[in-house]
Amino acid sequence: MFNFRKKKSPKLFVIGLDCAPPELVFQQYRADLPNFSKLLSRGAYGNLRSCTPCITVPAWSVMTSSKDPGVLGIYGFRNRADYSYDRMTIATGGSVKEPRVWEILGQAGKRVVTIGVPGTYPPRPVTGAQIACFLTPQTVSTDEQGNKITKTFTYPAELSTQVNAWAGGEYIVDVKQFRTDNKDFLLEQIYDMGRQHFKVVREMMKSQPWDFFMFVEMGTDRIHHGFWKFIDATHSKYEPGNKYENSIRDYYKYVDGEIGELLKLLDEDTAVMVVSDHGAKKMDGGICINEWMLRNGWLTLADDRPTRLTPIEKVEVDWSKTRAWGEGGYYARIFMNVQGREPEGMIPPADYEKVRDELAEAIQGIRGPGGEDIGTQVYKPQAIYRKVNGLAPDLIVYFGNLLWRSVGSLGHKEVWTLENDTGPDDANHAQEGIFMYYDPKQNLGGRELKGLEIMDFAPTVLQYFGLPVPADMQGRAIQLQENN
For 481, which DSSP code?
S
# of chain residues touching Zn ion (CB under 5 A): 5
For 163, which DSSP code?
H
Residue 217 or 277 with smaller CB distance to Zn ion: 277
Count Cβ atoms below 10 Å from residue 183 Cβ, excluding itself: 15
- Minimum CB separation of residue 195 from Zn ion in Å reads 21
- Minimum CB separation of residue 25 from Zn ion in Å reads 15
The 96-115 contact track toward Zn ion, x by CB under 5 A, reads --------------------
**CB–CB of 428/407 below 8 Å?**
no
Q: Are strands 285-288 and 404-407 parallel, antiparallel or unpaired?
A: parallel
Residue 256 or 277 with smaller CB distance to Zn ion: 277
Asked if residue 156 has a cis previous peptide bond (ω within 30° of 0), the answer is yes
Which residues, including other chains, have CB under 8 Å from residue 241's CB and lie 6 or more apart? none
Residue 18 or 394 with smaller CB distance to Zn ion: 18
Asked if residue 118 has a cis previous peptide bond (ω within 30° of 0), the answer is no
Of 416, 429, 418, nearest to 367 (Cα)?
A: 416
Instruction: Concatenate the DSSP letters of all residues of 398-466 into one string.
Output: EGGGGTEEEE--B--SSSEESS-TTS---EEEESEEEEEEEBTTB--TTEEP-SEEGGGHHHHHHHHTT
Q: Which helix (H) or strand (E) holds 217?
A: strand 212-217
Residue 428 or 463 with smaller CB distance to Zn ion: 428
- Minimum CB separation of residue 302 from Zn ion in Å reads 37
For 317, which DSSP code?
B
Which range, of 161-169, 196-204, 277-285, 463-471, touches Zn ion by CB under 5 A? 277-285
- Minimum CB separation of residue 358 from Zn ion in Å reads 33
Which range, of 12-20, 122-130, 194-202, 321-329, touches Zn ion by CB under 5 A? 12-20
CA distance 334 to 328: 9
Is 432 a binding residue for Zn ion by CB under 5 A? The answer is no
- Minimum CB separation of residue 129 from Zn ion in Å reads 23
- Minimum CB separation of residue 216 from Zn ion in Å reads 9
CA distance 236 to 233: 8
- Minimum CB separation of residue 19 from Zn ion in Å reads 5
Residue 317 or 454 with smaller CB distance to Zn ion: 454
Is 284 a binding residue for Zn ion by CB under 5 A? The answer is no
- Minimum CB separation of residue 18 from Zn ion in Å reads 4
Residue 135 or 293 with smaller CB distance to Zn ion: 135
Residue 12 or 54 with smaller CB distance to Zn ion: 54
CA distance 274 to 259: 10
Alpha-carbon distance values, 282 to 144, 236, 327, 415 (Å):
46, 9, 21, 20
Which residues, including other chains, have CB under 8 Å from residue 260's CB and lie 6 or more apart? 34, 35
- Minimum CB separation of residue 58 from Zn ion in Å reads 10
**CB–CB of 49/432 below 8 Å?**
yes
Residue 98 or 277 with smaller CB distance to Zn ion: 277
CA distance 180 to 6: 49
Residue 224 or 323 with smaller CB distance to Zn ion: 224
> Strand, helix or coil at 45?
strand
Tell which one of 56, 64, 127, 154 touches Zn ion (CB under 5 A). Answer: 56
Is 277 a binding residue for Zn ion by CB under 5 A? The answer is yes
Tell which one of 10, 14, 18, 47 touches Zn ion (CB under 5 A). Answer: 18
Which residues, including other chains, have CB under 8 Å from residue 262's CB and lie 6 or more apart? 13, 15, 198, 201, 202, 205
- Minimum CB separation of residue 317 from Zn ion in Å reads 31
| Residue type (1 letter), 119 | G
Site for Zn ion in 220-249 (CB under 5 A): 221
Residue 164 or 220 with smaller CB distance to Zn ion: 220
CA distance 332 to 316: 21
Site for Zn ion in 456-475 (CB under 5 A): none
Which range, of 215-223, 230-238, 325-333, 406-414, touches Zn ion by CB under 5 A? 215-223
Site for Zn ion in 412-431 (CB under 5 A): none
**CB–CB of 225/189 below 8 Å?**
no
For Zn ion, the nearest residue by Cβ is: 56
Residue 4 or 134 with smaller CB distance to Zn ion: 134
Which range, of 14-22, 160-168, 264-272, 438-446, touches Zn ion by CB under 5 A? 14-22
Which range, of 53-61, 242-250, 370-378, 461-469, touches Zn ion by CB under 5 A? 53-61
Residue 294 or 427 with smaller CB distance to Zn ion: 427
Which range, of 10-18, 98-106, 382-390, 397-405, touches Zn ion by CB under 5 A? 10-18
Which range, of 97-105, 148-156, 216-224, 256-264, touches Zn ion by CB under 5 A? 216-224
Residues that bind Zn ion (CB under 5 A): 18-19, 56, 221, 277
